[in-house]
Structure 1
Amino acid sequence: MSTAGRAVTGVYPEALRERVDAYLAELRFPSVAPETAGLEEAMRYSLLAGGKRIRPVLALATQQAIGGDPETVLPLAAAIELIHTYSLIHDDLPAMDDDDLRRGRPTCHVKFGEDVAILAGDALYAEALRLLLTAQAGPPAGILAAARELTAATGVDGMVGGQYLDVAGVAPDDAGGLRTVHALKTGRLIGASIACVLLLDGMTGPSITAFRSFADELGILFQIVDDILDVTSTADAMGKPQGSDERQGKRTYVSEYGLEGAQRLAAECHGRAHAALAATGPERAAHLAELEQITDFIFTRTS
């Protein structure tokens, strides 16, 4: 496949994913009350369910792109994945998407009950912030800036706000309204995976603007492809029920633009994401391989 004259391979930086998985596997959430062991079990059940770890891998790849050691931002990357996992647990609940499978196995509420699943999600969010504020090295101003970005990206002006627009059906009934829903619901956390690293580093100026433009396009690209896969993939490939958006009557890029229209929009987003990466500056060209690989992988993914 190619877009805008460049080859697209869909290769993924597995070495970075393996670093993330190893770090997450070592995380524990102990309590002074041993009776909460069941809560930690539910948290780790969802956290260690696998997947490509796109958000934390993006954080590591961004650190690499600005000339840093990916290992140094593992606590931040892990905090982002804890928050993403919390969002998946809550998305799957009967009051939300009502899904019984996630990554090929029972969802948290099916395995442990709705009450424990809600608490596991709540605890993962809190532990994410604790991890960022206690384990991430860096200047205090940079850590606080990253924390502000991450909490904003997951609150009313981010992921949760986007979820509200989606479930309440109150977004404007036009292309801009659809983009707003997904820019908040999906795009903001993906964007934070990049922006938090830059803020931790203290980056300012044109480079951070270009990286933020890249992050915006990548978040929308992810959602468009997700909508496409919801109608073209299978439950076995996705590891979760296929066609759930259509069953719930949700607005998606496929329902609004048709399958071919959504595929065209994905290709346009993919091209703009690469253009934004190129605009980060020639001095970074030699360090962008992993970010380019993630962008191509998102565009070509099949599950």
Structure 2
Amino acid sequence: MRFLKSGLKKAVGGAVRRLPALRRSMTQGLNVFLFHDVTDEPSPFNAQYALAVSRATFRRQAAWIRDNFEVIHPARLFDQSVLPPRAALITFDDGFLGTFENGLEILRDMQLPSVVFVNMRAVLEQTPILSVVACYLNQHVPEFAGFADSVGLRRPYHLTLTPKLLAEFEQRSGALDRAAVLDYQGQFADLQTMRKWSDARWVLYGSHLFDHWNVRALDSVEFQHHYQSNERALAQFDNRANLFAFPNGQPVSCFSDSDVEQLRQLGAGRVFSARGGVNRDSTQYLLSRCGLGEQDADEDGIWFRMGRAAAEDAFNRRR
């Protein structure tokens, strides 16, 4: 089965690569690429959810982006100049240590700019992000399933767990073993690491909420609190950018039009989802991103990933 899937992926990706018209349809506009951790030793969480790429794979992916697009500095989203017809933007989510020690190092060597969307609570307190907590509870804390059933909490828990329900569970069962959750999650950057890169003008820091709550699990007051708390924490950095990326990032399950409007009212300059697909209009407020992982390790794999993202985006927009 894996062999057939790999063969299909290579065949489709190769077809996209060899057909200029199809290739142009997926490159004309602004393509935003999404990464998480860059490391040769992924944490259990990042390995399980395919959120890490090795240094060698990331170097190949970054070189492919450089060779097929004009990589723009994220600050260009705010100026009045017209972006190049094959523009690309490189982004990272969350704030894993490997993003800084490996990903940004590689991009610096290649002279490519990027933006890192950070959950500052994890940086300031070295505490696990909430999506990891929810996944850990599901897999390693047997009594959580019974609690979830009793309060009507639906799977996947990282999309539905609310602040009040997490607090209620800890009141009933005791405080979570956060050291064990951190081992499962993997290491985040600390303030010293972020300050080291804050003078690199080709790297900007954007917001990913103060903690990695799924926005649909928050009420509007909680959403505002996490947004503004992260903005205050990011204000200490000179390279802070007025850019926001939704945690998890898929429309419907992760955010709604009203959430986008609330961000506009709160002053967010541009907002990013993880929907996938090329942004034909680079001036639009909500921009789509295409995630790349270790499985997208060669040119055919990346073209396949882009083609699948474009097809899924087109299908979802017609629904």
TM-score (structure 1 length as normaliser): 0.30
- Which protein has the bigger strand share? 2
The answer to which structure, 1 or 2, has the higher relative contact order (CA under 8 A, 6+ apart) is 2
Larger Rg computed on CA atoms:
2
TM-score (structure 2 length as normaliser): 0.29
